[in-house]
Amino acid sequence: MNLPIAIARRVGYALILLLAVLVLNFTLLHLAPGDIAETIVGESGGASKEMLAKIRKDYGLDLPFHEQLLNYLDRVAQGDFGHSLFFDQPVTELIFEKLVPTLLLVISSLFIAIVFGTFLGVFAARRPSGLLSQLITVLALLGYALPVFWTGIMLVILFASLIPIFPTSGMDSGPLGASGVGYIWEVLHHMTLPVVTLSTIYLAFYSRLSRASMMDVLGADYIRTARAKGLSEQIVIFKHALRNAVLPVVTFAGLQFGALFSGAVLVENVFSWPGLGTLAFESILRRDTPTLLGILFFSALVVIIANLLTDLAYRLIDPRIKTGAKA
Protein backbone atom coordinates (compact mmCIF):
# COMPACT_ATOMS: atom_id res chain seq x y z
CA MET A 1 0.00 0.00 0.00
CA ASN A 2 1.39 3.42 -0.84
CA LEU A 3 1.77 6.33 1.48
CA PRO A 4 -1.23 8.52 0.52
CA ILE A 5 -3.67 5.62 0.98
CA ALA A 6 -2.13 4.75 4.31
CA ILE A 7 -2.45 8.34 5.46
CA ALA A 8 -6.03 8.55 4.19
CA ARG A 9 -6.86 5.44 6.20
CA ARG A 10 -5.36 6.91 9.35
CA VAL A 11 -7.30 10.13 8.85
CA GLY A 12 -10.53 8.22 8.32
CA TYR A 13 -9.88 6.27 11.49
CA ALA A 14 -9.17 9.51 13.34
CA LEU A 15 -12.56 10.87 12.27
CA ILE A 16 -14.27 7.78 13.67
CA LEU A 17 -12.43 8.30 16.97
CA LEU A 18 -13.65 11.91 17.08
CA LEU A 19 -17.21 10.77 16.46
CA ALA A 20 -16.82 8.34 19.36
CA VAL A 21 -15.65 11.17 21.63
CA LEU A 22 -18.81 13.11 20.78
CA VAL A 23 -21.04 10.12 21.46
CA LEU A 24 -19.28 9.65 24.80
CA ASN A 25 -19.77 13.33 25.67
CA PHE A 26 -23.45 13.13 24.92
CA THR A 27 -23.95 9.83 26.72
CA LEU A 28 -22.20 11.11 29.86
CA LEU A 29 -24.45 14.15 29.86
CA HIS A 30 -27.47 11.85 29.75
CA LEU A 31 -26.25 9.36 32.33
CA ALA A 32 -25.62 12.08 34.90
CA PRO A 33 -28.28 12.31 37.57
CA GLY A 34 -30.66 15.26 37.58
CA ASP A 35 -32.37 17.41 34.99
CA ILE A 36 -30.20 17.68 31.86
CA ALA A 37 -31.32 21.22 31.16
CA GLU A 38 -30.16 22.25 34.61
CA THR A 39 -26.89 20.32 34.20
CA ILE A 40 -26.26 22.19 30.97
CA VAL A 41 -27.01 25.56 32.52
CA GLY A 42 -24.86 24.78 35.53
CA GLU A 43 -25.18 26.75 38.72
CA SER A 44 -24.26 30.05 37.18
CA GLY A 45 -26.61 32.67 38.45
CA GLY A 46 -29.69 30.44 38.70
CA ALA A 47 -31.23 29.98 35.27
CA SER A 48 -34.65 31.41 34.67
CA LYS A 49 -37.61 29.25 33.64
CA GLU A 50 -37.49 30.71 30.13
CA MET A 51 -33.79 29.84 29.89
CA LEU A 52 -34.46 26.22 30.90
CA ALA A 53 -37.35 26.01 28.45
CA LYS A 54 -35.14 27.39 25.68
CA ILE A 55 -32.46 24.80 26.42
CA ARG A 56 -35.01 21.97 26.45
CA LYS A 57 -36.22 23.17 23.06
CA ASP A 58 -32.69 23.69 21.64
CA TYR A 59 -31.52 20.29 22.73
CA GLY A 60 -34.86 18.66 21.95
CA LEU A 61 -34.87 17.02 25.36
CA ASP A 62 -38.33 15.55 24.88
CA LEU A 63 -37.21 13.52 21.85
CA PRO A 64 -35.96 9.90 22.06
CA PHE A 65 -32.25 9.49 22.87
CA HIS A 66 -31.05 8.62 19.37
CA GLU A 67 -32.82 11.61 17.81
CA GLN A 68 -31.30 13.90 20.41
CA LEU A 69 -27.89 12.43 19.65
CA LEU A 70 -28.32 13.06 15.92
CA ASN A 71 -29.39 16.63 16.62
CA TYR A 72 -26.34 17.09 18.82
CA LEU A 73 -23.99 15.71 16.15
CA ASP A 74 -25.67 17.95 13.59
CA ARG A 75 -25.04 21.03 15.73
CA VAL A 76 -21.44 20.00 16.35
CA ALA A 77 -20.90 19.51 12.62
CA GLN A 78 -21.84 23.16 12.23
CA GLY A 79 -19.23 24.08 14.83
CA ASP A 80 -21.79 24.68 17.55
CA PHE A 81 -20.70 23.23 20.89
CA GLY A 82 -23.30 25.14 22.82
CA HIS A 83 -23.24 28.43 24.64
CA SER A 84 -21.39 29.03 27.86
CA LEU A 85 -23.87 30.80 30.08
CA PHE A 86 -21.29 31.94 32.57
CA PHE A 87 -18.91 33.48 30.06
CA ASP A 88 -21.83 34.40 27.78
CA GLN A 89 -19.88 33.31 24.71
CA PRO A 90 -20.10 30.38 22.30
CA VAL A 91 -18.00 27.49 23.64
CA THR A 92 -15.96 27.22 20.42
CA GLU A 93 -14.88 30.87 20.59
CA LEU A 94 -13.95 30.49 24.21
CA ILE A 95 -11.83 27.42 23.48
CA PHE A 96 -10.06 28.81 20.43
CA GLU A 97 -8.90 31.78 22.50
CA LYS A 98 -7.30 29.47 25.04
CA LEU A 99 -6.00 26.74 22.75
CA VAL A 100 -2.87 28.58 21.60
CA PRO A 101 -1.43 29.26 25.09
CA THR A 102 -1.99 25.60 26.03
CA LEU A 103 -0.34 24.32 22.86
CA LEU A 104 2.57 26.70 23.43
CA LEU A 105 3.03 25.32 26.95
CA VAL A 106 2.58 21.65 26.03
CA ILE A 107 4.73 21.65 22.90
CA SER A 108 7.61 23.59 24.49
CA SER A 109 7.59 21.26 27.49
CA LEU A 110 7.57 18.15 25.32
CA PHE A 111 10.33 19.58 23.11
CA ILE A 112 12.55 20.44 26.07
CA ALA A 113 11.90 17.08 27.74
CA ILE A 114 12.75 15.18 24.56
CA VAL A 115 15.86 17.16 23.61
CA PHE A 116 17.42 17.28 27.07
CA GLY A 117 16.16 13.82 27.97
CA THR A 118 17.69 12.23 24.87
CA PHE A 119 20.90 14.13 25.41
CA LEU A 120 21.18 12.93 29.03
CA GLY A 121 20.19 9.39 28.07
CA VAL A 122 22.73 9.14 25.26
CA PHE A 123 25.59 10.22 27.49
CA ALA A 124 24.43 8.02 30.35
CA ALA A 125 24.28 4.99 28.04
CA ARG A 126 28.03 5.16 27.51
CA ARG A 127 28.62 4.53 31.20
CA PRO A 128 25.65 2.51 32.48
CA SER A 129 26.71 2.67 36.13
CA GLY A 130 28.21 6.14 36.05
CA LEU A 131 27.14 9.23 37.94
CA LEU A 132 24.89 10.48 35.16
CA SER A 133 23.03 7.17 35.07
CA GLN A 134 22.40 7.34 38.78
CA LEU A 135 21.22 10.93 38.44
CA ILE A 136 18.71 9.76 35.85
CA THR A 137 17.44 7.04 38.17
CA VAL A 138 16.89 9.59 40.95
CA LEU A 139 15.25 12.03 38.52
CA ALA A 140 12.91 9.28 37.35
CA LEU A 141 11.84 8.51 40.92
CA LEU A 142 11.20 12.20 41.59
CA GLY A 143 9.37 12.62 38.31
CA TYR A 144 7.07 9.73 39.17
CA ALA A 145 6.38 10.62 42.79
CA LEU A 146 6.16 14.43 42.89
CA PRO A 147 2.64 15.82 42.42
CA VAL A 148 3.21 18.22 39.53
CA PHE A 149 0.96 20.94 40.92
CA TRP A 150 2.79 20.85 44.23
CA THR A 151 6.18 21.17 42.53
CA GLY A 152 4.73 24.19 40.74
CA ILE A 153 3.51 25.74 43.99
CA MET A 154 6.91 25.23 45.60
CA LEU A 155 8.50 27.02 42.64
CA VAL A 156 5.99 29.86 43.01
CA ILE A 157 6.92 30.25 46.70
CA LEU A 158 10.60 30.17 45.81
CA PHE A 159 10.48 32.59 42.89
CA ALA A 160 7.78 34.96 44.07
CA SER A 161 9.43 35.99 47.29
CA LEU A 162 12.94 34.58 47.65
CA ILE A 163 14.45 34.86 44.16
CA PRO A 164 12.13 37.11 42.17
CA ILE A 165 13.73 36.64 38.75
CA PHE A 166 10.84 34.87 37.00
CA PRO A 167 7.18 35.95 36.94
CA THR A 168 4.96 33.35 38.64
CA SER A 169 1.61 34.13 37.13
CA GLY A 170 0.03 34.82 33.76
CA MET A 171 1.45 34.85 30.26
CA ASP A 172 2.36 38.51 29.75
CA SER A 173 2.51 41.75 31.69
CA GLY A 174 -0.95 42.84 30.63
CA PRO A 175 -1.91 45.89 28.56
CA LEU A 176 1.04 47.90 29.89
CA GLY A 177 3.52 45.31 28.62
CA ALA A 178 5.76 45.46 25.57
CA SER A 179 4.80 44.81 21.97
CA GLY A 180 6.55 43.15 19.02
CA VAL A 181 9.84 41.43 19.84
CA GLY A 182 9.56 42.68 23.40
CA TYR A 183 6.28 40.81 23.74
CA ILE A 184 7.84 37.52 22.63
CA TRP A 185 10.55 38.01 25.23
CA GLU A 186 7.89 38.74 27.83
CA VAL A 187 5.99 35.54 27.03
CA LEU A 188 9.20 33.50 27.14
CA HIS A 189 9.99 35.00 30.51
CA HIS A 190 6.54 34.09 31.83
CA MET A 191 6.75 30.62 30.30
CA THR A 192 9.93 29.59 32.06
CA LEU A 193 8.50 28.30 35.33
CA PRO A 194 5.42 26.51 33.90
CA VAL A 195 7.54 24.83 31.23
CA VAL A 196 10.20 23.78 33.75
CA THR A 197 7.51 22.32 36.02
CA LEU A 198 5.76 20.40 33.27
CA SER A 199 8.88 19.15 31.50
CA THR A 200 10.58 17.79 34.63
CA ILE A 201 8.31 14.74 34.76
CA TYR A 202 8.92 13.87 31.15
CA LEU A 203 12.61 14.77 31.19
CA ALA A 204 13.25 11.86 33.53
CA PHE A 205 11.05 9.59 31.46
CA TYR A 206 12.77 10.36 28.16
CA SER A 207 16.26 10.14 29.61
CA ARG A 208 15.50 6.65 30.94
CA LEU A 209 13.90 5.61 27.69
CA SER A 210 16.71 6.87 25.48
CA ARG A 211 19.35 5.42 27.79
CA ALA A 212 17.80 1.95 27.57
CA SER A 213 17.31 2.23 23.84
CA MET A 214 20.84 3.60 23.26
CA MET A 215 22.33 0.75 25.29
CA ASP A 216 20.48 -1.72 23.06
CA VAL A 217 21.68 -0.03 19.90
CA LEU A 218 25.30 0.31 21.07
CA GLY A 219 25.45 -3.47 21.40
CA ALA A 220 24.43 -4.01 17.77
CA ASP A 221 26.77 -5.41 15.12
CA TYR A 222 26.67 -2.41 12.84
CA ILE A 223 27.98 -0.21 15.63
CA ARG A 224 30.90 -2.58 16.11
CA THR A 225 31.48 -2.42 12.36
CA ALA A 226 31.40 1.37 12.42
CA ARG A 227 33.93 1.45 15.22
CA ALA A 228 36.07 -1.21 13.58
CA LYS A 229 36.43 0.79 10.43
CA GLY A 230 37.89 3.59 12.53
CA LEU A 231 35.07 6.14 12.68
CA SER A 232 35.31 8.64 15.48
CA GLU A 233 33.15 8.04 18.54
CA GLN A 234 31.18 11.22 17.81
CA ILE A 235 30.16 9.99 14.38
CA VAL A 236 29.33 6.50 15.64
CA ILE A 237 27.09 7.82 18.37
CA PHE A 238 25.41 10.77 16.73
CA LYS A 239 25.22 9.57 13.16
CA HIS A 240 24.83 5.81 13.40
CA ALA A 241 23.35 5.00 16.79
CA LEU A 242 21.16 7.98 17.63
CA ARG A 243 18.93 7.60 14.60
CA ASN A 244 17.85 4.15 15.72
CA ALA A 245 17.87 4.87 19.42
CA VAL A 246 15.46 7.76 18.97
CA LEU A 247 12.63 5.62 17.52
CA PRO A 248 11.01 4.61 20.83
CA VAL A 249 11.28 8.24 21.97
CA VAL A 250 9.19 9.31 18.98
CA THR A 251 6.62 6.58 19.64
CA PHE A 252 6.15 7.65 23.23
CA ALA A 253 6.01 11.35 22.36
CA GLY A 254 2.79 10.69 20.45
CA LEU A 255 1.38 8.34 23.07
CA GLN A 256 2.05 10.77 25.89
CA PHE A 257 0.41 13.79 24.42
CA GLY A 258 -2.82 13.04 26.30
CA ALA A 259 -1.00 12.64 29.61
CA LEU A 260 0.88 15.86 28.91
CA PHE A 261 -2.44 17.66 28.50
CA SER A 262 -3.52 16.35 31.90
CA GLY A 263 -0.36 17.72 33.48
CA ALA A 264 -0.90 21.02 31.70
CA VAL A 265 -4.35 21.40 33.29
CA LEU A 266 -2.74 21.35 36.74
CA VAL A 267 0.31 23.43 35.86
CA GLU A 268 -1.77 26.11 34.14
CA ASN A 269 -3.84 26.52 37.27
CA VAL A 270 -0.77 26.91 39.47
CA PHE A 271 0.72 29.63 37.27
CA SER A 272 -2.60 31.21 36.15
CA TRP A 273 -1.59 30.45 32.57
CA PRO A 274 -4.50 31.60 30.38
CA GLY A 275 -5.07 28.26 28.61
CA LEU A 276 -7.56 25.40 28.42
CA GLY A 277 -6.61 24.06 31.86
CA THR A 278 -7.46 27.31 33.60
CA LEU A 279 -10.67 27.48 31.57
CA ALA A 280 -11.49 23.91 32.61
CA PHE A 281 -11.04 24.79 36.27
CA GLU A 282 -13.23 27.88 35.90
CA SER A 283 -15.93 25.78 34.26
CA ILE A 284 -15.77 23.33 37.17
CA LEU A 285 -16.32 26.16 39.63
CA ARG A 286 -19.33 27.39 37.62
CA ARG A 287 -20.51 23.87 36.79
CA ASP A 288 -20.35 25.02 33.18
CA THR A 289 -20.83 21.62 31.52
CA PRO A 290 -20.87 22.61 27.80
CA THR A 291 -17.49 24.32 28.16
CA LEU A 292 -15.91 21.37 29.97
CA LEU A 293 -17.25 18.90 27.37
CA GLY A 294 -15.98 21.19 24.61
CA ILE A 295 -12.51 21.25 26.17
CA LEU A 296 -12.54 17.43 26.38
CA PHE A 297 -13.42 17.23 22.69
CA PHE A 298 -10.83 19.72 21.48
CA SER A 299 -8.03 18.23 23.56
CA ALA A 300 -8.89 14.79 22.15
CA LEU A 301 -8.70 16.38 18.70
CA VAL A 302 -5.23 17.74 19.47
CA VAL A 303 -4.09 14.33 20.75
CA ILE A 304 -5.38 12.64 17.60
CA ILE A 305 -3.56 15.13 15.38
CA ALA A 306 -0.40 14.64 17.45
CA ASN A 307 -0.70 10.88 16.93
CA LEU A 308 -1.06 11.33 13.18
CA LEU A 309 2.03 13.56 13.09
CA THR A 310 3.99 11.05 15.17
CA ASP A 311 3.05 8.35 12.73
CA LEU A 312 4.32 10.50 9.88
CA ALA A 313 7.54 11.40 11.72
CA TYR A 314 8.12 7.73 12.38
CA ARG A 315 7.85 6.89 8.70
CA LEU A 316 10.31 9.67 7.86
CA ILE A 317 12.89 8.55 10.40
CA ASP A 318 12.59 4.87 9.57
CA PRO A 319 11.57 4.27 5.94
CA ARG A 320 11.55 0.51 6.57
CA ILE A 321 8.25 0.79 8.41
CA LYS A 322 5.61 -0.66 6.16
CA THR A 323 2.99 1.82 5.20
CA GLY A 324 -0.42 0.50 6.06
CA ALA A 325 0.74 -1.68 8.92
CA LYS A 326 -0.88 -0.39 12.07
CA ALA A 327 1.13 0.76 15.00
The nearest distance, CB 20 to other proteins, in angstroms, is 5
C-beta atoms surrounding 109 within 10 Å: 25
Residue 23's identity, in one-letter code, is: V
Of 153 and 242, which CB lies nearer to other proteins in the complex structure? 153
Distance of CA 223 to the CA centre of its chain: 35
C-beta atoms surrounding 227 within 10 Å: 15
Kindly tell me which residue out of 2, 4, 12, 33 binds other proteins, with binding defined by CB under 8 A.
33
Measuring CA to CA, how many Å separate 256 from each of 107, 207, 294? 12, 15, 21
**Does 103 contact other proteins by CB under 8 A?**
no
Site string for other proteins, 160-179 (x = CB under 8 A): xx------------------
**Residue 83 bridge partners (DSSP):** 90
**Does 134 contact other proteins by CB under 8 A?**
no
Of 156 and 245, which CB lies nearer to other proteins in the complex structure? 156
Q: Which segments of the chain does DSSP mark as H helices, in order? A: 3-31, 36-41, 49-59, 65-77, 91-126, 131-145, 148-157, 181-218, 221-228, 233-235, 242-245, 247-255, 257-270, 276-285, 289-317
d(CA 295, CA 84): 12
**Does 31 contact other proteins by CB under 8 A?**
yes
d(CA 181, CA 185): 6
Of 226 and 266, which CB lies nearer to other proteins in the complex structure? 266
Distance of CA 325 to the CA centre of its chain: 26
Kindly tell me which residue out of 52, 196, 212, 231 binds other proteins, with binding defined by CB under 8 A.
212
**Does 274 contact other proteins by CB under 8 A?**
no
**Does 271 contact other proteins by CB under 8 A?**
no
> How many residues line the site for other proteins (CB under 8 A)?
54
**Does 303 contact other proteins by CB under 8 A?**
yes
Give burial (CB, 10 Å; 0-12/13-18/19+) of 164: exposed
Kindly tell me which residue out of 5, 15, 20, 115 binds other proteins, with binding defined by CB under 8 A.
20
**Does 304 contact other proteins by CB under 8 A?**
yes
**Does 73 contact other proteins by CB under 8 A?**
no
**Does 281 contact other proteins by CB under 8 A?**
yes
Tell me which stretch binds other proteins (CB under 8 A): 88-96, 143-151, 183-191, 316-324.
143-151
**Does 307 contact other proteins by CB under 8 A?**
yes
Give, for 90, the enclosing helix (H) or strand (E).
strand 89-90
Give, for 84, the enclosing helix (H) or strand (E).
strand 83-84
- Residues of this chain that interact with other proteins (CB under 8 A) are 17, 20-21, 24-25, 28-29, 31-33, 39, 141, 144-150, 153-154, 156-157, 160-161, 205, 208-209, 212, 248, 255, 258-259, 261-263, 265-266, 269, 280-281, 284-285, 287, 289, 292-293, 295-296, 299-300, 303-304, 307
